[in-house]
Amino acid sequence: MSNTMEKRLQKELMKLVSEPPAGVTFDSESADSKLTLWKVKVVGAKDTLYDGESFILQFKFTPKYPFESPQVIFIGPNIPVHPHIYSNGHICLSILTDDWSPALSVQAVCLSIVSMLSSCKKKVRPPDNVVYVSTCSKNPKKTNWYYHDDSQS
Amino acid sequence: MASASSASHNNSSNNAGTNSNTESNENEDSAQANFECNICLDTAKDAVVSFCGHLFCWPCLHTWLETRPNNKVCPVCKAAISRDKVIPLYGRGCANQDPREKTPPRPSGIRSEPENQGPFQNFWGDNFQVSFGIGAFPFGYFSTNFGTNHGADQQRPQTEQEQNERFLSEVFFMVVLISFFFLMLA
């Protein structure tokens, strides 16, 4: 099982370094030898509210990856102000828990997050930010997320 | 199929020691990527293809189906998927064994024999036993057993061996009693 994880992460890493998608770069200093912790820099897309801003995403993998989703949070001083991103860096995004599929990858998750930023119309924190941040677990995967369908609004 | 055969041609020419240029490398890469498992991203082993057309190693897909037994969907397109909704692929070099048959080996069931029970269930459950006794060595013979199981034992038809054993233990108990009275009298 963990063998699958290591092999797959290596393949993903090679792909991400050799052909990075627009606005996504791997921070090569961050990865440890076992590849269980990645840091990826994402840049807000052009002509969006986050144009030119750069953020750091942290990925944590369990030995059950890719059958289990990675733990993904924003870290560092600049955490995007977004209706689905809490000030502690936790992200309310269904593919990170319920809708995870092993066919997804680090690259796919990064692109989803960039596109989530791009579709934002107003820079605000989630309405329950203060309560959530003071009561939540350190691991966002332990939160019982309630997902809204954003495509309607 | 055309791309598969061209990939194998590239392979053999490279193996033969000809200079591999970058173009043929790229061709080879993309051709190989066509046959990568969507889960482990490696060339699919014990390959199966879903009705929706997505390729997996059977061990990978099986692990995924086990991970979410209540929500079996294709990892790529979220179509319904199950053991019966995939087709095994047999390449020329492979054994013609259905990958679903051989991997992963399922754990065999564990079946234990029921314990012997009398026809009547006891009020305190099956194995309720109380024993009273005096601990010092020679007096240990006086320990008595009040086991609710005991009654159930007697109601069960006994085999010859059990009857013999019971008889022997009764004889032994009498011998002990007699020797103890001798000690008291002496």
Q: Which residues contact B137 (CB under 8 A, 6 or more apart)?
A: none
**Per-residue pLDDT averaged across B20-32, rounded?**
56
ipTM of the modeled complex:
0.84
Of B13, B40, B41, nearest to B28 by C-alpha is B13
Q: Is the CB of residue A6 less than 8 Å away from at least one CB of chain B?
A: no
Domains of chain A as residue ranges with CATH: 2-140 (3.10.110.10)
Pick from B30, B40, B50, B67 the residue to mutate for testing the A interface (most A CBs within 10 Å). B40
Residue B55 and residue B75 in contact, taking contact as beta carbons nearer than 8 Å = no
Give the pLDDT confidence score for residue B102 in this predicted structure.
66
Q: Is residue A56 over pLDDT 90?
A: yes
- Determine contact: A34 vs chain B, CB below 8 A: no
Neighbours of A50 (CB within 10 A): 21
3-state secondary structure at position A105? coil
Q: What is the pLDDT of residues B44-84, one digit of tens each?
A: 888 889 999 999 998 899 989 988 888 889 999 999 998 88
Mean pLDDT of chain B: 69
Instruction: Give the mean pLDDT of B109-131.
Output: 57
What are the extents of the domains in chain B?
Answer: 35-105, 129-185
- Contact across the interface for B40 and A4, Cβ inside 8 Å: yes
A68/B67 Cβ within 8 A: yes
A92 is catalytic: yes
Top-tier CATH class for B35-105: alpha beta
Size of interface A-B (CB pairs under 8 A): 35
Q: Are B64 and A67 in contact (CB under 8 A)?
A: yes
Distance CA A91, CA A113 (A): 9
CB contact under 8 A, A1 and B42: no
